[in-house]
Amino acid sequence: MHAGFHRGVTCRFQDYNSSMLPRMTIRVKGTTGLLIAAALITVFLVYVPAYRAFFLISLGLGVIIAPILYLRNKHFPVREKDVENKRPLGLD
């Protein structure tokens, strides 16, 4: 028997966020969401040097990998016979 655990004692997990704090949501769609995301990225790029380095590395990898994937799929497209499990979630 583990220390601190006793017979007959049960643990109940409660989501304290849903009962004690009001749920706050901001619903943003379309162009407004894109503008907010662009503004946040710009603010982080200007004020956070570590984010700037991460962004440049990610951008560099994207610029290198995107054309490779594009050319690979252009010259060697995935055919239906190449896919083994056509419905992985079992949906009809």
Q: Is residue 85 part of a domain?
A: no
Q: Is residue 40 part of a domain?
A: yes
Least Cα distance to 56 among 45, 66, 40 occurs for 45
Q: Is residue 88 part of a domain?
A: no
On whether the pTM is more than 0.85, the answer is no
Q: Is residue 71 part of a domain?
A: yes
What are the tens digits of pLDDT across the range 39-80?
999 999 999 999 999 999 999 999 999 999 999 999 999 888
Average pLDDT over residues 10-31: 65
Q: Is residue 7 part of a domain?
A: no
Average pLDDT along the chain:
81
Predicted pLDDT at 69: 96
How many Å apart are CA 43 and CA 57, to the nearest integer?
Answer: 18
User: What's the token pair of residue 38?
Assistant: 């662009």
Residue 42 belongs to domain spanning: 16-79
Q: Is residue 20 part of a domain?
A: yes
How many domains is the chain partitioned into structurally? 1
Q: Is residue 11 part of a domain?
A: no
Task: Please report which confidence band the pLDDT of residue 90 belongs to, taking 50, 70 and 90 as the band edges.
Answer: confident
Q: Is residue 53 part of a domain?
A: yes
